[in-house]
């Protein structure tokens, strides 16, 4: 692998390569490819049942994918418990209406976990 390729891969915060997920016979995620660069913020939108939440849950390994790769900050997610603990302190996610504190703004909801977990003021 060339130095330029290695550097380009390190610039990605999250990569999904040919990600596949099934629920029984239902193939919910089919060869999903996604590159999110460091500092980039993305929105995943689509109709109900299209797999948006499943994609996000796979990144934090709250759902296990059956095929493909997920790479976060240059490290492939394997399901190792210690690795997942490290990963989850660095990856945040927020769903539109699920488990938000209604008395907090969206920004406060998003920053609450890093403040508690990392003790960031």
Q: What is the DSSP letter of 76?
A: E
> H or E element: which one contains 105?
none
Identify which has the larger pLDDT, 62 or 34.
Answer: 34
Provide the whole-model pTM.
0.73
Q: What is the average pLDDT across 42-51?
A: 88
Instruction: Indicate whether 4 pLDDT > 60.
Output: no
Per-residue pLDDT of 10-35, as tens digits, reads: 689 999 999 999 999 999 999 999 99
Query: Average per-residue pLDDT in the chain?
Result: 84
Q: Which residues, in sequence order, are CB contacts of 67 under 8 Å at separation 6+? A: 18, 19, 20
Give the pLDDT of residue 8. Answer: 53
* Total tally of structural domains belonging to the chain: 1
In whole angstroms, how far apart are CA 65 and each of 1, 13, 17, 31? 26, 19, 12, 11
User: Which CATH number covers residue 69?
Assistant: 3.40.50.300
Domain membership of residue 35 as a residue range: 3-118
């Amino acid at each position: 692998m060339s130095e330029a390729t290695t550097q380009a891969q390190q610039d990605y915060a999250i990569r999904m390569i040919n990600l596949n997920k099934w629920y029984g016979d239902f193939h919910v995620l089919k060869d999903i490819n996604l590159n999110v660069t460091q500092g980039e913020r993305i929105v995943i939108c689509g109709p109900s049942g299209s797999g948006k939440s499943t994609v996000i849950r796979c990144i934090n390994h709250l759902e296990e994918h059956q095929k493909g790769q997920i790479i976060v900050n240059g490290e492939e997610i394997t399901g190792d418990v210690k690795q997942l603990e490290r990963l989850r302190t660095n990856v945040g996610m927020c769903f539109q209406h699920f488990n938000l504190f209604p008395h907090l703004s969206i920004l406060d909801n998003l920053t609450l976990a890093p403040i508690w977990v990392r003790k960031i003021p």
